[in-house]
Copies of this chain bind each other. A is one copy, B any other.
Amino acid sequence: MIRAGIVGGTGYTGVELLRILALHPQVEVAAVTSRADAGQRVDRLYPSLRGLCNLTFSLPEAENLLDCQVVFFATPNGTAMHMAAGLLRRGIKVIDLSADFRIRDAQEWEKWYGMPHANPDLIAEAVYGLPEINREQIRRAELVACPGCYPTAVQLGFLPLLEQATIDTDHLIADVKSGVSGAGRKAEISSLMSEAGESFKAYAVSGHRHLPEIRQGLTQICGQAVGLTFVPHLTPMIRGIHATLYARLNKPLDLQALFEQRFQAEYFVDVLPAGSHADTRNVRGSNRCQIAVHQPQSGDTLVILSVIDNLVKGASGQAVQAMNLMTGLPERQGLETVALYP
């Protein structure tokens, strides 16, 4: 049994880790921390876990995590960068669901996240945790930076096209829609049901923090700088991300075959039959990314539809997928659930 710790267990990615790991046959959650709720039973805050989790929240201090083999950070940005080194020194693997180690360039990170980086040297040791791109590096990693939810959906959707250099990389467009759980379990007016319900809006059009992360990922895939317009939107549902991607074709290709071949061996990326549309409900609660590809009116503009559950493949599920790889467990273990439809 792998002993796992979770730092920051009271946000949505934290409780989602608890949901997934509660049924993982090879993992035991040994510690869950929360500064605000230390001392309280986990299932008192989350009655959905009654009978499945006997833990009490502890303080987020290293000593409470020392008998873990792997520690997840489900914390706000700016926490893992302080604590990770201490754990790594003791041989504990670290999987960070926050943004602290996602951006290679520390100055770029500081610009977008508005604080100095506490441990820029450690960034180089972190592996970007998208298994469909970095599987082998993740297997050998001690520190994994889990991708953001938007970046996961967008990178998987553009991946085959960029690898094959079939599109104009100067003018990529990612029009992406997220459910409200992406904003986290924070008391903010804009996330109230009376505000976010029955309404639809774009936000952060001038620049969202996931823009540099996506740009970095796409650049790495195709080996050259890309131009990207990224517009995130808030849609009135709880879970799910739907990325609608637009790219100009450079040369003729069999779009459907390209995607099917690229993801043939990827259990968690499912290319839908030609003519399909992807629907977020079909991946709700599952670690799947479903993708549908279109070339409307046989023109030169491709349309890729890529959907995930932002809390699973976009966060905690992908983190467990990385953990399985890092600890030598079967990659799918604990993640073969079925989406909750309807």
Number of copies: 4
CB-CB under 8 A from A201, the residues of chain B are 242, 277-280, 305, 307
Interface check A282, CB cutoff 8 A? yes
CB-CB under 8 A from A54, the residues of chain B are none
Complex formed: what's the CA distance from A335 to B237 in Å? Answer: 26
A277-306 vs B, Cβ < 8 Å mask (1 yes, 0 no): 111111111100010101011010101010
Near B by CB (< 8 A), chain A positions 297-342 give 297, 299, 301, 303, 305, 307, 311, 336-342
Expressed in whole angstroms, the minimum distance between the Cβ of A98 and any Cβ of chain B is 18
Complex formed: what's the CA distance from A262 to B338 in Å? Answer: 33
Complex formed: what's the CA distance from A186 to B342 in Å? Answer: 13
Interface check A181, CB cutoff 8 A? yes
Interface check A35, CB cutoff 8 A? no
* Contact between A47 and B276, CB atoms less than 8 A apart: yes
Near B by CB (< 8 A), chain A positions 229-270 give 229-231, 233, 235-240, 242, 244, 246, 248, 267, 270
CB-CB under 8 A from A305, the residues of chain B are 201-202, 205
Interface check A1, CB cutoff 8 A? no
**Which of A52, A230, A303 counts the most B-chain CB atoms under 10 A from its CB?**
A303
Expressed in whole angstroms, the minimum distance between the Cβ of A269 and any Cβ of chain B is 11
* Contact between A342 and B239, CB atoms less than 8 A apart: yes
**CB contact between A173 and one of B267, B279, B301 (< 8 Å): that residue:** B301
CB-CB under 8 A from A272, the residues of chain B are 47, 50
* Contact between B180 and A48, CB atoms less than 8 A apart: no
Segment among A80-88, A116-124, A133-141, A191-199 that sits at the interface with chain B: A191-199
A contact residues, total (Cβ < 8 Å): 91
Q: Which residue of B lies closest to A205 (CB)?
A: B294
Complex formed: what's the CA distance from A272 to B43 in Å? Answer: 11
CB-CB under 8 A from A187, the residues of chain B are 187-189, 192
**CB contact between A52 and one of B195, B198, B338 (< 8 Å): that residue:** B338
* Contact between A236 and B233, CB atoms less than 8 A apart: no
Not counting A48-B284, A183-B194, A205-B294, a sample of 13 additional A-B residue pairs whose C-beta atoms are within 8 angstroms of each other reads A23-B337, A48-B281, A48-B283, A50-B272, A175-B244, A180-B197, A197-B237, A199-B279, A201-B305, A202-B278, A206-B294, A206-B297, A284-B340
